[in-house]
Amino acid sequence: MITKYYQLETLTCPSCKAKIENALRRTKGVENVEVLFNSSRAKVTFNELIVSSDDIKRVIEGLGYKVLGER
C-alpha cells in the first residue's frame, strides 16, 4: 500500500473534487482518495499490486484533468 500526491491543473470548482474522488474510489485497488481542492492535489492511497500509478493518472486524465506531477 502506498500513498502518492498528484499535482493537478488548478481546480476551479469544488464539483471537480467530487468528480475525481468518486471516479478514483470506484477504481479497483484504490484504498483511499482525498482531493485537496485548494492546493489542486489528489492524495491517493492504493495497492500497487492491483493498480499502477499510471492507471491512476489515466483515470484522472480521462475525466479531463491534466496531471502535472506526482510525488
The alpha carbon torsion through 19, 49, 55, 20 (nearest 10 deg) reads 10
Least CB distance from residue 54 to another protein, whole Å? Answer: 17
Is 61 strand, coil or helix? helix
Residue type, 23: A
Q: Which is nearer to another protein, 46 or 60 (CB)?
A: 60
Return residues touching another protein (CB under 8 A).
9-10, 12-16, 18-19, 22-23, 26, 34, 36-39, 41, 62-66
Query: Given the complex with another protein, which of 17 and 31 has the nearer CB atom?
Result: 17
Closer residue to another protein in complex, CB, 43/53: 43
Distance from C-alpha of 50 to C-alpha of 64, rounded to nearest angstrom: 23
